[in-house]
Structure 1
Amino acid sequence: MFVATTQLRRFLLCVFLWLLTQRGTCGAYHEEGRYPCAFIDTVNITGSYSMGSNMNGSYLHNWTVIPRELVTPYDFVIENGIRVPAVRHLRACVCRLRPCVRFCCPAGQFYQLETRRCVDHPEVPGHSHMTVQLQNGTQLHQELGTWFSVHVESPCDHMRAVTKDSEYLHWTLHENGSITHREHHFTKHYCFTPLLFGNSSWSWQPLACEPEKLHFVLGVREWTYAICLLICIISMFIVLMVHLTCSDMRNSFYGVAVKAYMICVIFGYALLAHLTLHDPANLSSAACRIIPSFALLFLVLSFYILSFISFKLYLSFHGVVLTKLMFWLILIPIVIIAIGWSFYVGFSYHGAKLVLGGDTCWFDPRNWTVMIYFFAPIFIACAISCFFYILTLICISEEPDVDSEKSFESLERNRLKSFWKFFSYTALIWFIYICSFAVNYYREERSHLNYAVCLCTAFHGFAALYALVGKNQQIQNFLRRIEDNNDEDTGENSVHMYIY
């Protein structure tokens, strides 16, 4: 017992001494994860001279003494607003000690916008001005280094020169390191580089990053999109009401599937309209993730309901009849999968940012997440629908023509035609959506194709009215019966009034 107690005391003493040593070791470093300034205000000082305990562990970097509390080990870097793992290194908040002026490349190089990298000046005739600019760059670095901390680094990949009427602007460099030209103001996300004026002279100009945060704008484009969404919602609601009142469609697999599709589209477009008209800054973080997740759920699920209809039409020409109960039995597991997918996307990260719930409460248009998480599942659903459509056409081609207009096959053929007209319109509209995203992504700004997207959204509702109501024989017969009954009621009332 005594030996065990002695060993326990020795063990606790060893643990205590080890903790003390770890505390002494960590005392020279800040707790990892706590950073004293923004990453863009730091500079890599790995290899800089450490002044030791005489100067409280300060560092000397480019003749600037950096206190130890402004130095932190990093195991990542920020590239284009995304956190990327990197080899552990020391970074210091140099821009907190002296205002930073930022250059894209070291002295003697310039930033080439086409390749997005620093290159040496071209050794070809006619570029003597460029040589002078690069030589002046070294002198400029030295002069600015008297008042500023010269920060040499391109802050992002997507940089551009700000112009007006195809001419470069004249910028003012302030004492705090920011640059301004009237309404344009950049504090950090810029860097100077020589750019060509015309074909003869060069001038030092700042290249500015695309905004890290997408500012909310409620302009003509946004209102147009919201109005077109509302028009589509109203049209889909009319189609839903017609199918609800039609007794022939109410309890069939096809009718229930169409109604479920309409409900999904109505809710999905309504949520998109809500996100379009509301500033993400005024939404809570939970709402900014839940609302787009449900919009994703409803819109993706709507396309898989279309694939169910295509599958049902294929089975109909093989003599297989699916009931309303079968639709719900098929739909429930797909709904569970869709909920799991939207939940997964809502908690997924692209780099260091959430896929949903960022600057727009929707997919970030500056990356390809919308293609992976949104358009890819829709494309798979469309491929499934097209597969069953091709099989259905093969089945029809192998059967003899049906003469009886009241036969079951004739009714299914009419459903097939009306449904695939609507599906073709829907697929075309969403293809335009994808093209609009691709154009905006490569141009790095919105284009006029966005207005075509708005009009296509309204056209989606009109296509539903035209194909699912106007071209559906059952719906048309139902509407004619209602009209005939109204005419008969009107005639009877007229006779009663005349007799009276």
Structure 2
Amino acid sequence: MRLLVGTIATIILLSMQLTKAEISDCDFYDTVNISSAKVLSNGSYEYDGLLIPAELTGMYTTMHLPDGSKKDVPSHRRGCVCKLRPCIRFCCPHNHKANDGSCIGEMSKDELESHNRYVELSLSNGTVVKRHFQEDLVVQSDLPLPCGDDKMHWIDHTLPGNGFTLFENGTSFRHWDSATLDKRKYCLQHAEFKGDGIRITPHFCHLDSEASQTGQTIVMSISLICMVLTISVYLYVKKLRKLHGKCFICYMVALFMGYALLLINLWNVWDRPSIGCTTSGFMGYFFVMAAFFWLSVISLHLWVTIALPPDSVSRFLPEHRFRAYNIYSWGLALVLTGVVVLADNVNLDKDWTPRMGTTQCWIYTGDNAAFLYFFGPMLLLIIFNIIMFILTAVRIVKVKKDVRNCAQPQQKNKRLNSDKRTFTFFLRLFILMGLTWSLEIISFHVRQNELWGMIFQVADYLNWSQGTIIFVLFILKPSTLKLIKNQRNPIREWSATVSRSREGRNTTTGTEGVFLSRA
């Protein structure tokens, strides 16, 4: 009789457990699927050596997704195991490994024997301990991936600034941007690192503050094509190949090379670190800085030719100006690149070294080293350009006032209009490059704030679109299109010039005839 009563009670208890809804006061991401776990007579479950009380189990018919929505799944029982023992949340089965942000399958026998099974865990009292991921923690590998089907980023602890901290409560702290992630936003998986074997590392989603790789590629590719078209037009049209036009061509060549290398590096063509990656980074740095030096040459040339008296120009600048401009622009860019190479190879504090080719094929941008070697010189050149353009603008205003009081205003007014057109032309160029890179400098200082990072994505896309904007502003304007048309029809242009010359001579002859008849 007692046996019968006990059996009936057990059946009733199990029936109650089977109909129990989701576990109250337990986050879905603190649970595991215990459908295949051993059921004990008191209604508790034995899972992976852990005893789970009946009140910490429940039936689930949905899966909670990272974005807060739910997805219908077959009914199954889950247990709130993370309330009983610290958990470790894996992206895929714990005996699999990831490569390039995706799970690639089970590890080999040798890899299973040699991989690092320990993680450092920060306890609630602040102490840091090493824990075996299977023996000391509960493995969760059936939770939905943080990014769905998208490829994940991972933290490479071998690179500077890429540290992370795992906490006992399941959260993770990302050092480089001081972001705290719960288990909805990250997962862990075995990954292989050069010189450090296979170990567990966090994986996370693409940041909202980072531009899409595909979008960046499309924008930069169009921009590079427009740069080539702009350079081609300036080389084709003879009237555009004056001194300031030659400087503009050099500026565009430097900008094209710098952006082309940045685009190549975007797609991780080179391994990091590697000689190819580091060399590509130094070359990209050289050409970007050369572009800034050429812009400063253009602003200096405008000031000298517009603001200074003609007799002062020859004293202020050497006879072969274009040669001097080349030595200045390419030479100083080479000097700065040499400084960066030297700083990268001497025994300085790592916080003061460029660390070219470590996290990317560029200067490390995780701390103030980027400002010291890149944004700092850039800011100085932007300030120099601002001063030059202000001085030139002041001179143009002064000349405009003088023209009004001049005895022969027509000739001077013609020269003034020409200077104003040239000044306006390059002022647009400076505003475009100066504004976009100034926003980049501001973006660098607010990079750890996700909201500001999203806002300054606009500056990134403007920066990558410089070639496209320059092509629209400088090539598609009516005056340039007219020059291209005339260049294609030199006979028509020559005929127009001869016609104007004849009209001038006829007018002069007619006037002389009037004077002679009067005499």
What is the TM-score when the length of structure 1 is the normalising length?
Answer: 0.54
Structure 1 residue aligned with 2:343: 348
Question: How far 1:410 sits from its partner (Å)?
Answer: 2.9
Question: How far 1:356 sits from its partner (Å)?
Answer: 0.9
Distance 1:447 1:180 in 2: 32
Selected match of 1:255 from 224, 241, 245: 245
Structure 2 residue aligned with 1:240: 231
Residue-by-residue CA offset, 1:94-127 (whole Å, 9 max, x unaligned):
xx99967633464xxxxxxxxxxx6xxxxxxxxx
1:292 matched to 2:285? The reply is no
Selected match of 1:267 from 257, 269, 279: 257
Structure 2 residue aligned with 1:223: 214
Question: How far 1:360 sits from its partner (Å)?
Answer: 1.5
After TM superposition, list the pairs within 5 Å mapping 1:313-332 onto structure 2: 313-317=302-306, 318=308, 319=310, 320=313, 325-332=320-327
Question: How far 1:429 sits from its partner (Å)?
Answer: 1.8
Question: How far 1:191 sits from its partner (Å)?
Answer: 4.1
Selected match of 1:464 from 456, 470, 473: 470
Question: How far 1:364 sits from its partner (Å)?
Answer: 3.0
Distance 1:463 1:279 in 2: 28
Which structure 1 residue ranges, 4+ long, deviate > 6 Å from structure 2?
176-179, 184-188, 211-220, 321-324, 486-489
Structure 1: gaps of 5 or more residues: 1-95, 107-117, 119-151, 156-170, 194-203, 490-500
Distance 1:314 1:423 in 2: 14
Contact 1:190 1:209 in 2 (8 A): yes
Question: How far 1:420 sits from its partner (Å)?
Answer: 0.3
Change in Cα spacing, 1:245 to 1:174, as seen in structure 2 (3 Å) is same
Distance 2:363 2:254 in 1: 20
What is the TM-score when the length of structure 2 is the normalising length?
Answer: 0.52
Residue-by-residue CA offset, 1:341-395 (whole Å, 9 max, x unaligned):
1232245356277521102222334223222211211111111111111111221
1:412 matched to 2:419? The reply is yes
Contact 2:117 2:133 in 1 (8 A): no
Selected match of 1:174 from 107, 110, 134: 134
2:253 partner amino acid: I
Question: How far 1:437 sits from its partner (Å)?
Answer: 3.2
1:368 partner amino acid: N
Structure 2 residue aligned with 1:430: 437
Structure 1 residue aligned with 2:165: 190
Contact 1:293 1:343 in 2 (8 A): no
1:246 partner amino acid: V
Structure 2 residue aligned with 1:33: none
Change in Cα spacing, 1:172 to 1:452, as seen in structure 2 (3 Å) is farther
SS of the equivalent of 2:121 reads: strand
Question: How far 1:264 sits from its partner (Å)?
Answer: 0.1
2:370 partner amino acid: V
Residue-by-residue CA offset, 1:283-321 (whole Å, 9 max, x unaligned):
661111111111111111111111111111111122237
1:459 partner amino acid: S
After TM superposition, list the pairs within 5 Å mapping 1:54-453 onto structure 2: 102-104=121-123, 106=125, 152-153=127-128, 174-175=134-135, 182=143, 189-192=164-167, 204-210=169-175, 221-250=212-241, 252-281=242-271, 285-317=274-306, 318=308, 319=310, 320=313, 325-349=320-344, 351=350, 355-399=355-399, 400-401=402-403, 403-404=410-411, 407-443=414-450, 447-449=453-455, 451-453=457-459
Change in Cα spacing, 1:487 to 1:289, as seen in structure 2 (3 Å) is same
Structure 2 residue aligned with 1:42: none
Question: How far 1:326 sits from its partner (Å)?
Answer: 1.1
Q: CA RMSD in A?
A: 4.2
Fraction of identical pairs, as percent? 17
Contact 1:216 1:360 in 2 (8 A): no
Distance 1:342 1:306 in 2: 18
Distance 1:240 1:307 in 2: 19
Distance 1:254 1:488 in 2: 23
Contact 2:270 2:276 in 1 (8 A): no
Question: How far 1:179 sits from its partner (Å)?
Answer: 6.4
1:481 matched to 2:486? The reply is yes
